[in-house]
């Protein structure tokens, strides 16, 4: 299913991006020869009344719009006016920019749909604060509710994480508004230094020391997986874990922490069954390697299901106009955040390990889709903005590179030489291949 959701996401965004180029080309009177989703020989195709071929190809990692262009072959005299190269620099830049702009418009519409239909998330109340963390040093405590980050209101944990993202890689201070359990409100000043700059996949919540409030889950076994350490130890459905190595276990989270910290280490587990009869089991958790190379223990059993308290859920819904303003603001903030992250990677304030390729994107697509329509639409909007920003970078072969070359031509007052354009394209290809290699390396290292 992960591959399917990845293909759905890529197809949607490629169609949006290429339609932007297609629409702009038609508006400027350029003849479009082909609109292709995917690369390679077409699986199927058809032509419209304008003679444009619409096709779907087997390699689903992009697409293209092919226009009439004298640089790619002879153009009949009666069609020269429809050639891309015969259009003004302003028109060519308009066509080049239309693809990324279409991605941004898609993101605005996606966010508008979410905001107008209503979004929900968990109230940002702290269950704990990591000792010696920036939040701990600022005097933020368990039970506090995070009501703002540097003046921006936070209705749920997703908001808190969003407003913390710009501070990654920074050495700075910012304010965090909290509401205590007694209802008093305070502004706390948080100080960070090179915050999470060398961390792969930085999580701003845990990085600041925030531990979100968790639903109480009793340490009662409900599921024992076959051929696992838990089954070998003799766990049965209904067993309540009382202690591990003589240390009392208060809830399922405490049990999980002990198991994770003990790969291939025998543990003496005291349990009580459904009849209240106690017994001791020897559990030796299996070792499981994580993406970051660390190893944790895994037992292979699950707890009883618990109902999420409705009072912990925050629902936000806006009228159509307010939703549009919020969607525009969200998209522009995301554009800035994407550019800021790229710059931080260039100057070394953010690890290049955060650059992701198609494998990681596919994983995120699958994970977001499994969470429902809202997270999948959020993912599409995020990826659409990333695609738009990437294509606007002033790198030859990208849309931004075409705009750059057109601008140079405008300044020089004459067309660029074929030799210069070829050198620029080779340089652009080298940059893109380097980025792709880093992204693929990061993907493979996470497997």
HSE-up (13 A, CA, CB side) for residue 83: 15
> Residues in the chain, how many?
447
CA distance 301 to 443: 29
Which helix (H) or strand (E) segment holds residue 435: the answer is helix 418-445
CA distance 376 to 62: 20
CB count within 10 Å of CB 433 equals 10
CA distance 74 to 83: 10
Q: Give 14-63 as a DSSP string.
A: HHHHHHHHHHHHHHTTPPEEEEEEEESS-SEEEE-TT--EEEE-SEEEEE
Whether 67 contacts 98, CB under 8 Å: no
Alpha-carbon separation of residue 187 from 148, 150, 156, 177, 304 (angstroms): 9, 9, 18, 5, 39
CA distance 189 to 150: 9
Mode of pairing for the β-strands spanning 278-283 and 152-153: unpaired
Query: Which residues lie closer than 8 Å to 210 by C-beta, 6 or more apart?
Result: 126, 129, 130, 135, 140, 146, 160
Whether 106 contacts 393, CB under 8 Å: no
CA distance 301 to 288: 14
Mode of pairing for the β-strands spanning 53-56 and 32-39: parallel
**Strand ranges for 48-125 from DSSP E:** 53-56, 59-67, 119-122
Task: Classify residue 398 by its DSSP letter.
Answer: S
Whether 114 contacts 162, CB under 8 Å: no
CB count within 10 Å of CB 287 equals 14
Give strand pairing partners of 137.
none
* Of 18, 53, 70, 130, catalytic: 18
Q: Is 18 a catalytic residue?
A: yes
CA distance 34 to 377: 29
Catalytic residues: 18
């Amino acid at each position: 299913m992960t591959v399917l959701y990845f293909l759905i996401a890529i197809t949607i965004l490629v169609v949006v991006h290429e339609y932007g180029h297609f629409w702009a080309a038609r508006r400027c009177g350029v003849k479009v020869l082909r609109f292709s989703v995917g690369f390679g020989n077409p699986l199927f195709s058809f032509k419209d009344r304008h003679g444009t071929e619409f096709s779907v190809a087997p390699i689903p990692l992009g697409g293209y719009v092919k226009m009439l262009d004298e640089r790619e072959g002879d153009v009949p005299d009666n069609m020269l006016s429809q050639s891309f190269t015969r259009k003004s620099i302003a028109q060519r830049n308009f066509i080049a920019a239309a693809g990324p702009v279409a991605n941004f418009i898609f993101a605005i519409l996606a966010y508008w749909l979410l905001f107008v239909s209503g979004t929900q998330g968990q109230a940002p109340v702290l269950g704990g604060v990591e000792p010696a963390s920036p939040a701990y040093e600022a005097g933020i405590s368990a039970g506090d509710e995070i009501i703002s980050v540097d003046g921006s209101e936070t209705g749920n944990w997703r908001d808190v994480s969003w407003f913390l993202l710009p501070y990654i890689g920074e050495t700075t201070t910012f304010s965090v508004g909290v509401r205590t359990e007694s209802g008093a409100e305070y502004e706390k000043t948080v100080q960070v230094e090179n915050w999470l700059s060398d961390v792969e996949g930085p999580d701003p919540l845990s990085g600041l020391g925030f531990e979100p409030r968790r639903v109480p889950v009793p340490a009662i076994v409900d599921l024992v997986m076959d051929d696992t350490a838990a089954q070998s130890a003799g766990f049965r459905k209904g067993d309540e874990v009382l202690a591990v190595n003589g240390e009392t276990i208060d809830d399922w989270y405490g049990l999980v922490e002990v198991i994770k910290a003990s790969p291939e280490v025998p543990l003496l587990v005291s349990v009580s069954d459904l009849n209240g009869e106690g017994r001791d089991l020897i559990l030796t958790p299996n070792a499981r390697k994580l993406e970051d190379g660390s190893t944790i223990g895994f037992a292979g059993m699950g707890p009883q299901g618990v109902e999420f308290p409705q009072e912990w859920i925050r629902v936000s819904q806006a009228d159509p106009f307010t939703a549009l303003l919020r969607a525009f603001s969200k998209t522009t903030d995301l554009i800035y955040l994407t550019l800021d992250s790229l710059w931080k990677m260039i100057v070394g304030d953010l690890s290049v390990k955060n650059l992701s390729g198609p494998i990681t994107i596919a994983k995120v697509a699958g994970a977001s889709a499994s969470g429902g329509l809202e997270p999948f639409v959020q993912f599409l909007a995020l990826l659409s903005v990333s695609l738009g920003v990437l294509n606007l970078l002033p790198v030859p072969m990208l849309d931004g590179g075409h705009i750059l070359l057109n601008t140079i031509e405008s300044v020089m007052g004459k067309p660029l030489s074929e030799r210069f354009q070829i050198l620029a394209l080779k340089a652009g290809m080298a940059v893109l291949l380097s980025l792709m290699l880093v992204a693929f390396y990061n993907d493979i290292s996470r497997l």
